[in-house]
Amino acid sequence: MFDAIVIDKSDDKQTVSLTQAGADQLPEGDVTVDVAWSTLNYKDALAITGSAPVVRKFPMVPGIDFAGIVTDSQHPDYTPGDKVILNGWGVGETHWGGLAKQARVKGDWLVPLPDGISMRQAMEIGTAGYTAMLCVQALEANGVTPDSGPIAVTGAAGGVGSVATVLLANRGYKVAAVTGRASEADYLKGLGASEIIDREELSGKVRPLNKERFAGGVDVAGSTVLANLLSMMQYGGTVAACGLAAGMDLPSSVAPFILRGVTLAGVDSVMCPAKKRRAAWDALAKELDLSKLGGLAVEVPLSEVIATAPKFLDGQIRGRVVVPVAPELG
C-alpha cells in the first residue's frame, strides 16, 4: 500500500482525498516507478477542485509530472534503478499520475533524467519549464533573435512565464514581463525581465492592429490577452501560445497575419514527440540557471496539496509548486 491523492466521483459529486492505494490498483503500463518528487500544476489544481472537467476517468490520481526511480520494467529502454521524468501524455487525466508514491506508465512516455540536474530540480522545472523551453525553441525556429526586439511573456509570475523569462534573458533577449500582480515586479526583474507591463494593457478592447511593440511573445493566457498581443507584434513576429488561463476564445482578426506576417505558433507539451521532448530537456539541463530555481519554487507536502489547489487557482502561488512525495529517494 502507498499514499495517493485520489479523485473519485459518485452521483455527479466529486470527492478528493489523501488515502492508501494498492499496487494492484495501478493502471496498465510496462514501467513501474517509485515517485520521489511531483508537482502541483494549473491542470492538477483544476482537477482537484473540480473547477473544470480535467479528469476523464475515475478514480484518478492527479499529477501531470513526476520524477522517480524505475523499480520494474518490461521496456527495452529502462531498467530498475534508472532515474526518469514524466510530463503529460494524459497522466492525471486518463491515467494515474504523480501525486502518489507509485506510478505505472508506458515506457515510451518517460524521459531519462538528464545529467546535471536532480529529481527535485527536474520537478522545479516540470511541465511548466519544459513547455517554456518548447516556446523559446518555437520562437527561434521562426527566426526571432535577441536583435529582433523585445519578447512579451504573459503570466510572467507563473510557472511557464517564470522559466520562459529566465531562459529568454539568459539567451540575450529583452523580456517584457506581463503580470497582473504589481507586487511581483522585483521578483520578475530578478529573473531577468527588463520591463514590467500591467496585464490590463493587454486586457482591453481588441483592435485589429496596434502599435508594433514586440518581436515575439510567449502566451499562457489566450483569449483577449493573446488577441491584443498579436495586434502588437512587429512585422514578421511570432507568438508561441501554450495556455488558456484567460479563456479558450480568440477575439482577433486576420490583420496581424496578412498585414504584418505574424506567426501564431501552437505549443503542445502533452503529446509532444519523444525526440523533441528529450531535446527540450537536454537544453534545460545545459542552460537553465538552476541557481534561480530557489526563487521559482515553493515546496508543499503531499498532505497539503488538496488545500493548496484552490490557492493556486486564485493566483496566490508564485512560480512552481513542488511536492516531495518520497524525497529520501533523491
Side chain identity, residue 65:
D
Residues 267-296, mean pLDDT to the nearest whole number? 88
Sorted by sequence, the CB contacts under 8 Å of residue 71 that are 6+ apart come out as 32, 33, 34, 80
**Is the per-residue pLDDT at 294 higher than 80?**
no
Across residues 18-43, what is the average pLDDT?
Answer: 96
* Polymer length in residues for the chain: 330
> Residue 284 carries which side chain, given as an amino acid letter?
L
Instruction: Please state, for a pLDDT cut of 90, what percent of the chain lies above it.
Output: 86
**What pLDDT was estimated at residue 293?**
63
**Alpha-carbon span 299 to 293, nearest angstrom:** 12
Which region among 119-123, 142-146, 288-292, 302-306 has the lowest average model confidence (pLDDT)?
A: 288-292
123 three-class SS: helix
Looking at the predicted structure, is the pLDDT value of residue 328 above 70? yes
| Average pLDDT over every residue of 44-65 | 95
Q: Answer whether residue 292 shows pLDDT above 80.
A: no
Question: Is the per-residue pLDDT at 295 higher than 80?
Answer: no
**Whole-number pLDDT of residue 158:** 85
In DSSP terms, which residues pair with 322 in a beta bridge?
Answer: 39, 299
Q: What domains can be seen in the chain, in order of their start residue?
A: 2-113+300-329 (3.90.180.10), 126-266 (3.40.50.720)
CB 81 within 8 A of CB 330: no
**Where does the pLDDT of residue 57 fall: very low under 50, low under 70, confident under 90, or very high at 90 and above?**
very high
Backbone angles phi, psi at 169, to 5 degrees: -60, -40
**Averaged pLDDT score across all residues of the chain:** 94
59-72 pLDDT, tens digit each: 999 999 999 999 99
